[in-house]
């Protein structure tokens, strides 16, 4: 009886025999080794992050002892890739295509996620201030610039920029919060909890905009 894993192995063997550098050796989480073929730069339909500008690629994985999962790390082609989403081909468990992000495409920093809090001022009112969200005051994040512009406001030119941030474990963050990266505060404009798995979050940020 032929399985999906058998078909995948035969296909990879055939390609490797014809094109020597098409099949790469990869390792997931430092221990599980198999073979990898990288697809094109544009994501196929249905993936939660489908724009080429996001620097993601599809990786076809064969021969691994277990299926890749969101949040795993793949080392292949001399690079470290983060697994953002996974599709099990025909749900057979023997061949998967993963959406991966090259860690080198981001600037990695330690960030603090903060929330606006009200502190009684002793006179019946409150003082508003940003406070670190417990457990999210030292999070490793990857960030990249998306666009920038200038506007005339308050009798001066102000710079506005848009950024995208990638992180794990920040599933409780909302658009009402902000994030401080390398001493700079960014407004959170959109939170994408990838595939609603509470593993990877992709945040669209604004800098220089009104909060």
Confidence at residue 51, expressed as pLDDT on a 0 to 100 scale: 44
Measured in degrees and rounded to the nearest 5, phi and psi for residue 97 equal -120, 130
Confidence at residue 93, expressed as pLDDT on a 0 to 100 scale: 64
Instruction: Give per-residue pLDDT as tens, 155-195.
Output: 444 556 788 898 988 999 999 999 999 999 999 999 988 87
Q: Which fold has domain 107-207?
A: Thrombin, subunit H (2.40.10)
pTM here is 0.65
Confidence at residue 69, expressed as pLDDT on a 0 to 100 scale: 84
Domain ranges of the chain: 4-103, 107-207
For 13, 66, 91, the CA distances from 6, given in Å and listed in that order, are 10, 15, 14
C-alpha 77/C-alpha 55 separation (Å) is 16
Spans of the chain, pLDDT less than 50: 42-53, 149-157
């Amino acid at each position: 009886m032929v399985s999906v894993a058998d078909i995948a192995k035969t296909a990879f063997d055939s390609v490797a025999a014809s094109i020597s550098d098409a099949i790469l050796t990869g390792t997931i989480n430092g221990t599980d080794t198999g073979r990898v073929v990288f697809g094109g730069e544009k994501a196929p339909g249905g993936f939660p992050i489908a724009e080429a500008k996001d620097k993601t690629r599809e990786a076809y994985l064969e021969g691994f002892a277990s299926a890749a999962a969101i949040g795993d790390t793949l080392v292949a082609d001399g690079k470290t890739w983060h697994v953002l989403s996974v599709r099990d081909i025909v749900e057979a468990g023997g061949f998967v295509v993963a959406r991966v992000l090259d860690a080198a495409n981001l600037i990695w920093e330690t960030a603090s996620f903060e929330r606006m809090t009200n502190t009684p001022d002793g006179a019946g009112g409150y003082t508003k201030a940003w406070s670190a969200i417990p457990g999210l005051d030292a999070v490793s994040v990857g960030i990249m610039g998306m666009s920038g512009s200038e506007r005339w406001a308050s009798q001066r030119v102000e710079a506005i920029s848009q950024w995208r941030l990638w992180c794990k474990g920040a599933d409780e963050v909302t658009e009402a919060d902000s994030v401080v990266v390398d001493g700079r505060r960014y407004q959170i404009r959109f939170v994408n909890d990838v595939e609603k798995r509470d593993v990877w979050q992709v945040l669209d940020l604004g800098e220089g905009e009104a909060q």
